[in-house]
Amino acid sequence: MKFKLIFFSLFLCISLFGQRAVEADALFNSKQYTKARGIYETLLKQKPNDAKYNFRYAQCCYELKDAEQAILHFEITGSKFPQRDMYLGELYFTTYRFDKSVIAYQNYLATLKPDDSKIQELQNKITKSEKAARLLTKVEDIAIVDSVLVDKTDFLRFYKTSSELGTINQSLLKLNARRIVDKITYTTQRKDRVYYSDSIHGQIDLFTSYKLFDTWSTPVSVSKVINTSANENYPFLLLDGITLYFASDNENSIGGYDIFVTRYTPSSDSFLAPENVGFPFNSLANDYMMVIDEQRKLGWFATDRNQSAGKVMIYTFVSNESKIIVRSEDKDYVRSVALLKSYRKSSKTTMENAQTTKSDVQEANKQIEFIVNDSIVYAHLSQFKCSDAMKLWSEKEKIANDLKLSKAKLDALRLRYDSAQTPEERSAIAPGIGELESKNIELELLLNKKIMELRNAENAFLKK
Domain boundaries along the sequence of the chain: 16-136, 143-354, 365-463
CA distances from 124 to 118, 128, 226, 256, 294 (A): 10, 6, 21, 15, 37
CATH architecture of 365-463: Orthogonal Bundle (1.10)
pLDDT of the residue at 348: 53
CA neighbours within 13 Å on the CB side: how many for 382?
A: 9
- Tell me: pLDDT of 60 over 80: yes
Q: Once rounded to an integer, what is the mean pLDDT over residues 32-53? A: 92
Q: Once rounded to an integer, what is the mean pLDDT over residues 410-436? A: 80
Higher pLDDT, 294 or 387: 294
Q: Residue 212: pLDDT band by 50, 70, 90 thresholds? A: confident
CA distances from 416 to 82, 252, 419, 429, 446 (A): 61, 34, 5, 8, 28
Cα end-to-end span (Å), the chain: 120
- Tell me: pLDDT of 216 over 80: yes
CA neighbours within 13 Å on the CB side: how many for 6?
A: 3
Q: Once rounded to an integer, what is the mean pLDDT over residues 113-120? A: 94
Q: Decide whether 16-136 matches 365-463 in CATH topology.
A: no
Q: Residue 391: pLDDT band by 50, 70, 90 thresholds? A: confident
- Tell me: pLDDT of 217 over 80: yes
Which class for 102: exposed (0-12), middle (13-18), buried (19 or more C-beta within 10 A)? buried
Helices (H) and strands (E) in the chain, counts: 11, 18
Specify the range with the lowest mean pLDDT, choosing from 70-84, 137-151, 343-357.
Answer: 343-357
pLDDT of the residue at 315: 96
pLDDT of the residue at 4: 47
| Highest mean pLDDT out of 9-13, 22-26, 256-260 | 256-260
- 263-293, pLDDT tens digit by residue? 998 777 889 999 999 999 999 999 999 999 9
- Tell me: pLDDT of 306 over 50: yes
- Tell me: pLDDT of 419 over 90: no
With a CB cutoff of 8 Å and minimum separation 6, the contacts of 437 are 410
- Grouping H, G, I as helix, E, B as strand and the rest as coil, residue 273 is coil
Q: Residue 107: pLDDT band by 50, 70, 90 thresholds? A: very high
pLDDT of the residue at 347: 66
In CATH, the number for domain 16-136 is 1.25.40.10
Higher pLDDT, 19 or 54: 54
Phi, psi of 347 (to 5 degrees): -80, 155
Q: Once rounded to an integer, what is the mean pLDDT over residues 367-381? A: 74
- Tell me: pLDDT of 312 over 80: yes
Q: Kindly report the number of other CB atoms within 10 A of residue 139's CB atom.
A: 24
Q: Kindly report the number of other CB atoms within 10 A of residue 99's CB atom.
A: 15
Q: Once rounded to an integer, what is the mean pLDDT over residues 379-383? A: 72
pLDDT of the residue at 174: 85
pLDDT of the residue at 418: 74
Rg (CA), the chain: 30
What is the chain's mean pLDDT, rounded? 87
pLDDT of the residue at 361: 43
